[in-house]
Amino acid sequence: MLIKRPADIPSSEITDRRVYVNRRTFIRAAAAAAAAAGTAGVLGCGGADTGTPQPATKPTTSPASGFADVTESAFSTTEPVNTLEQVSTYNNYYEFGTDKSSPARYAKLLRTAPWSVAVEGECAKPAVWHLEDILRGQTLEERIYRLRCVEAWSMVIPWIGFPLADFIARCEPTSKAKFVQFFTLDDAAQMPGVRVPVLDWPYTEGLRMDEAMHPLTILAVGLYGEVLPNQNGAPIRLVVPWKYGFKGIKSIVRMRFVEQEPRSSWQISAPSEYGFYSNVNPSVDHPRWSQARENRLPGFLRNRPTLMFNGYADQVAQLYSGMDLRRNF
């Protein structure tokens, strides 16, 4: 699914770029951009104000926009989005450096075309999927989600993408598939941060199968109606809105269906601080800071209360019924 701007947000508050695209036009544009500029991809994530989805609506666009066949997700927030400059210059992408500005500086080295994703493990159809084949046949929508991170900063980002569940269904996981694991590209020639052992490369993340199949979980390939910028995870990345920016693995090159719970990179690096589920609990402090409040950029300090499940409790709390969310963090 993709992310669409709400009708009550003036376009001037979002971006002056094209925001909507029908399926054929979008796929053509993404492929052309990938071939010409080495950038491709679109998907999205965010958070609702109250956890109550709003009815999906068709976008109102001018004939010049060229994006006439994208609908708004029922899960879109009505909050004003951050600017494209903010979203594309303040990033976590350790493969290009640990500083928030490093990805925008160095990710231009990344070649995103051609691109493929290998599917392995407990599935009936293991294969290597080319990006254009992953996109082909998707019904594109657009929705806005609040993308947040444990560092206590957050943004509202208009991702463009489609449900991960759609792609998983095409892979036909078996009954043994209890989890799905994801891997980022690991290429020191293109990614200077990989030359430093900050993490155990390649970067990896994982979801329980019911989390992966939830309609809020998307594969993003675009941003602000454009092809996904390299520093934001081009050409294809994961967005899991209720995890406050966690699990948003970028530049995915491999997916593996597994029976046992996989360990994520941050779990391996700091197991006392980062668990498998990465559900930020505002009533439980991180070992090194409080999680009760967050910082909505471009503001300062911790200027907003942290919401349980990023405001999506009505949609996802049942996934964790009976679990101790203080221990299963």
Q: Which domains does the chain have, with CATH numbers?
A: 11-320 (3.90.420.10)
Direct distance between the N- and C-terminal alpha carbons of the chain, in angstroms, rounded to an integer? 27
DSSP collapsed to 3 states, the chain: CCCCCCCCCCHHHCCCCCCCCCHHHHHHHHHHHHHHHCCCCCCCCCCCCCCCCCCCCCCCCCHHHCCCCCEECCCCCCCCCCCHHHHHHCCCCHHHCCCCCHHHHHHHHCCCCCCEEEEEECECCCEEEEHHHHHCCCCCEECCEEEEECCCEEEEECEEEEEHHHHHHHHCECCCCCEEEEEECCCCCCCHHHHCCCCCCCCEEEEEHHHHCCCCCEEEEEECCEECCHHHCCCCEEECHHHCCCCCCCCEEEEEEECCCCCCHHHHHCCCCCCCCCCCCCCCCECCECCCEEEECCCCCCCEECCHHHHCHHHHHHHHCCCCCCCCC
pLDDT score at 328: 83
Q: What is the pLDDT of residue 150?
A: 37
Phi then psi dihedrals of residue 259, to 5 deg? -90, -30
233-287 tens-digit pLDDT: 999 999 999 998 889 999 999 999 999 999 999 999 999 888 999 998 888 888 8
> What's the rounded mean pLDDT across residues 33-56?
32
Angle CA(42)–CA(46)–CA(48) in degrees, nearest 5? Answer: 145
Residues 6+ apart with CB under 8 A from 36: none
**Whole-number pLDDT of residue 148:** 45
Asked if pLDDT for residue 53 goes beyond 50, the answer is no
Q: Which residues pair with 226 in a beta bridge?
A: 223
Q: Which of 63-67, 208-212, 263-267, 320-324 has the lowest average pLDDT?
A: 63-67
Residue 94, φ and ψ in degrees, nearest 5: -65, -20
How much is the pLDDT for 184? Answer: 98
Pairing mode, strands 141-142 and 71-72: parallel
Give how far the C-alpha of residue 242 lies from the chain's centroid of Cα atoms, to the nearest Å.
11
Report pLDDT for 143: 52
Q: Is the peptide bond before 235 cis (omega within 30 degrees of 0)?
A: yes
pLDDT, tens digit, 9 for 90 and up, residues 162-172? 899 999 999 99
pTM of the model: 0.79
pLDDT at residue 176 tops 90: yes
Q: Is the pLDDT of residue 5 over 80?
A: no
The pLDDT score that the predictor gives to residue 248 is 94
Give pLDDT tens digits for 103-127: 999 999 999 999 999 999 999 999 9
Q: Which two tokens stand for residue 158?
A: 């208009």
Task: Give the mean pLDDT of the chain.
Answer: 78
Contacts of 318 (CB under 8 A, 6+ apart): none
Residue 43: partners with Cβ closer than 8 Å, 6 or more residues away: 2, 159, 160, 161, 162, 218, 219, 220, 221, 222, 228, 236, 237, 238, 239
Kindly state the percentage of the chain with pLDDT values over 90.
49
The region, left, alpha or beta by phi > 0 then psi within -120 to 50, assigned to residue 233 is left
36-40, 159-163, 230-234, 311-315: which has the minimum mean pLDDT? Answer: 36-40
Peptide bond into 202 cis (omega under 30): yes
Instruction: Identify the residue whose tokens are 């109102």.
Output: 60
Joined tokens for residue 276: 């498998």
Least Cα distance to 87 among 204, 254, 248, 243 occurs for 248
Task: In whole angstroms, give the CA distance from residue 121 to residue 181.
Answer: 10
Residue-level pLDDT at 139? 55
Give the pLDDT score at 4.
34
pLDDT of the residue at 63: 24
Q: Kindly list the distances between the CA atom of residue 242 and the CA atoms of 206, 218, 280, 310, 314, in Å, as whole numbers in the listed order.
A: 15, 12, 9, 5, 11
